[in-house]
Amino acid sequence: MSALGQMVETQVSRVDGAMASAARHLLSLQKAEGFWWGDLTADSTLESDFILMELWLHPPAQGQARWEPPTRASIDKACRRILSQQLPDGGFNIYAGGPADVSATTKAYFALKVSGYDVDDPCMCAARERILALGGFQACNSYVKLNLSFFGLYPRQFVPSIPPEMMLVPGGWLYEMSSWSRAIVVPLSVVHAKDPKRPVPDGFNLEELFRPDIPLSFPKAANLISWRNFFYGVDAALKLWDRFGSARLRRMGVDRAMNWALERTQQSDGLGAIYPAMMYLIMALDLMGYSRESEEFREALGQFERLKVETDDDLFFQPCFSPVWDTAIAAFSLADSGRATPGALRHAADWLLTKEVRRKGDWSVKRPDTEPSGWYFEFANEFYPDIDDTGMVLMALARSEASDPAAHRACIDRAVNWLLDMQSSDGGWAAFDVDNNLLPLSYIPFADHNAMLDPTCADITGRVMEALIMCGVDPKHPAIRKGVAYLRKTQEPDGSWYGRWGVNYLYGTCFALRGLRAAGESDREAHMLRAGEWLRSIQNADGGWGEDCLSYATGEFVAAESTPTQTSWALMGLISSGDNYSSSVRKAVDFLVNRQLPNGGWDERLSTGTGFPRVFYLTYHYYRHTFPLMALACYRNSLSDSD
């Protein structure tokens, strides 16, 4: 046997042991109902907004200088959680290892100050100095300004208008916004229409955060003839409408917005099943006069509070729940490794079948004749099945067998047809909708959360292609060929692909390559070779890979410390590109095996999930356990296939 052969054989033995340990650990995390569900966490802004929500729900009495809400103990825990994330320079970041962000820091400063922290406290002085250095209150994003304007802390005339009359515009205009933007903006439009002036403690303000040298008005684009300046003009007209427009049309818009929002709380973990939409719905219900004891209000508040994780010493919020996503990844990883018990996979498959969507939601506006199917991300979100989850669930179901084989097959067939119908005209797949790419909407003043649209992306397209082919779709099917053409067209000049839902080029490249490999693309093709060479060129000296969230801002790969999750993506990408035996592959495998914990899992500190690029990042706490097992299984199976 050659030296290389001996080396590979030794490594394979270690990989088998690592997979067995990882599988035992992952199986120990499976819930009795059959699903997996890890924490999903983000930055300090969620706890800051919780304190803002508590101020809304429990305002101080008139003339009260100190705010003493009944939830004081929870607020104190939230403050400690916020302070635990303060950076040495006084700011707060939006991802681990990142720089201070002015919006996150302003939210934290407000939350701490209204909770009773003295402005002369060192932590407050440092935060204030960092905010001013970053451009002051004026540099914050629109949602920070909007939220604080409801309490009279930012001038309403300098925040974007969100009129409920948009609900009356014909032609499905609302559905040109991304699903999450719709869920946020519709209840927010009701809050805007009611023009709240909520009380704050006597004498409380944030005047110390304003920079006197920076105007409050919207910054004009350099090019006078631009979509940005056009929408600034529209916003000015809307502010006149707020004062002099038709009261009847406003009532109609508000009523339609409330009906739309309340309808979408049915069979759901809350409106859109996401934190900000749920928060704005509570505000809207309150302003519309719903009693705190009404079914609608109690349900909305209860769903919001379910996102809270509170112990005796700590409190944090999740932006949403991720059980379907976690379950699909875990089940597929276990099945691919060959280390799962049939009972565990059957139990997971049975649970997943109960979560298939069988009613029409927002997606059906553009696909009215398509039979409902697909899966959402959370425990319940019937109006919003998403394409990415559906692809991942199909991959898990293709590797397992439910208790009812006929129901299992019928479910797969429906979901395959749904995915085929949800392909966009450019050949790619997006997250929730078809052809959601009306670019001018990105320049609306309240669109600076950088997610007004839901365009197609390489990571979802690659996963959907792989899922479809695993479920029996011919690689020569026109949809697959269009997907291949899309991926070839969207490849970056350096050989990578942009990753929309994971950080970033490592994620996009991994799943683009997996999709292309499933579709039968030769590893001798130039685009496959370029991608493999790019992955090898950015490997860290320790054998792993890491990518900083900053890559979204720079538009190119930015290296970071190696993480098990991103190393797993890179390893799977290399194998999909046709590289099974290079030193890069061997070093990557060694990295994962050597860093496995005694319990069979892995540890990492960096954020690798993406919510809104450049604005909001996520830490999926099971990624570090599931993706390394998936990658090691991919490596082990590639060696078997090549024997």
Residue 232 predicted with pLDDT over 60: yes
How sure is the predictor about 7, in pLDDT bands with cuts at 50, 70 and 90? low
Task: Give me the pLDDT at residue 223, please.
Answer: 74
- How many Å separate Cα 135 from the centre of its chain? 27
Residue 295 phi/psi, 5-degree rounding, is -60, -40
Selected catalytic residue, list 43, 326, 388, 579: 388
**Is residue 643 very low, low, confident or very high in pLDDT (cuts 50, 70, 90)?**
low
Q: Is the pLDDT of residue 32 over 60?
A: yes
N-term to C-term CA, the chain: 14
Per-residue pLDDT averaged across 174-201, rounded? 96
Other beta carbons within 10 Å of 123: 16
Q: Torsion angle of alpha carbons 398, 459, 436, 424, nearest 10°?
A: -60
| Amino acid 400: pLDDT | 96
The closest of 502, 421, 424 to 468, measured between CA atoms, is 421
429 vs 456: CA distance, rounded Å: 5
Backbone angles phi, psi at 617, to 5 degrees: -120, 160
Q: Is the pLDDT of residue 554 over 60?
A: yes
Would the pLDDT of 1 be above 70? no
pLDDT digits (tens, 9 = 90+) for 63-80: 898 999 999 999 999 999
Listed in order, strand segments (DSSP E) in 308-404 are 308-310, 315-317
Does the domain at residues 45-315 carry the CATH identifier 1.10.10.10?
no
Q: Report the pLDDT averaged over residues 529-546.
A: 98
The alpha-helical segments, DSSP class H, found in 115-246 are 122-133, 142-149, 179-194, 227-244
Supply the pLDDT for residue 219. Answer: 81
Question: For the purposes of burial, counting CB atoms within 10 Å of the CB of 637, is it exposed (0-12), middle (13-18) or buried (19 or more)?
Answer: middle
β-sheet with 40-41: strand ranges across: 40-41, 616-620, 609-612
| Residues 565, 605: Cα–Cα separation, whole Å | 11
Q: What is the pLDDT of residue 303?
A: 97
558-581 burial: b if 16+ Cβ within 10 Å, else e: bebbbbbbbbbbbbbbbbbbbbbe
Supply the pLDDT for residue 322.
98
Q: Is the pLDDT of residue 603 over 60?
A: yes
Count of C-beta atoms within a 10 Å radius of residue 554 = 10
**Whole-number mean pLDDT of the chain?**
95
Higher per-residue pLDDT: 343 or 171: 343
Q: What's the confidence (pLDDT) of residue 12? A: 86
Residue 2 has pLDDT above 70, yes or no: no
Burial code (b: 16+ CB inside 10 Å, e: under 16) for 31-46 equals eeebbbbbebbbbbbb
Q: Is the pLDDT of residue 640 over 80?
A: no
Q: Is 454 annotated in the active site?
A: no
* DSSP three-state, residue 621: coil
- Of the candidates 135, 137, 128, the one whose C-alpha atom is nearest the C-alpha of residue 155 is 137
Q: List helix spans (H) across 422-563.
A: 458-470, 478-490, 505-518, 526-537, 551-554
Q: How confident is the model at residue 495 (pLDDT cuts 50, 70, 90)?
A: very high
229 or 600, which is more confident? 600
- For residue 375, the 8-state DSSP code is B
pLDDT digits (tens, 9 = 90+) for 71-117: 999 999 999 999 999 999 999 999 999 999 999 999 999 999 999 99
What integer is the mean pLDDT of 270-288? Answer: 97
Give SS3 for 417: helix
C-beta pairs of 304-313 under 8 Å, 24+ apart in sequence: 304/53, 304/270, 304/275, 304/278, 304/279, 306/269, 306/270, 307/275, 307/278, 308/50, 308/74, 309/39, 310/74, 310/77, 313/77
Amino acid at 158: F
Q: What is the pLDDT of residues 378-422, one digit of tens each?
A: 999 999 999 999 999 999 999 999 999 999 999 999 999 999 999
497 pLDDT higher than 80: yes
- The mean pLDDT value for 535-552 works out to 98
Q: Where do the structural domains in the chain lie, given as residue ranges?
A: 45-315
pLDDT at 4 over 70: no
Cα–Cα distance between 344 and 29 in angstroms, integer? 11
Q: Is 225 exposed, middle or buried (0-12, 13-18, 19+ CB in 10 A)?
A: exposed
Distance CA 22, CA 28 (A): 10
Could you tell me the two tokens for 111? 């939350």
- Checking 83-91 for CB contacts under 8 A at 24+ apart, the result is 83/112, 83/123, 85/43, 85/44, 86/123, 86/126, 86/127, 87/130, 89/126, 89/130, 90/123, 90/125, 90/126, 90/127, 90/128, 90/129, 90/130, 91/127, 91/130, 91/131, 91/134
**Binning pLDDT at 50, 70 and 90, where does residue 6 land?**
low
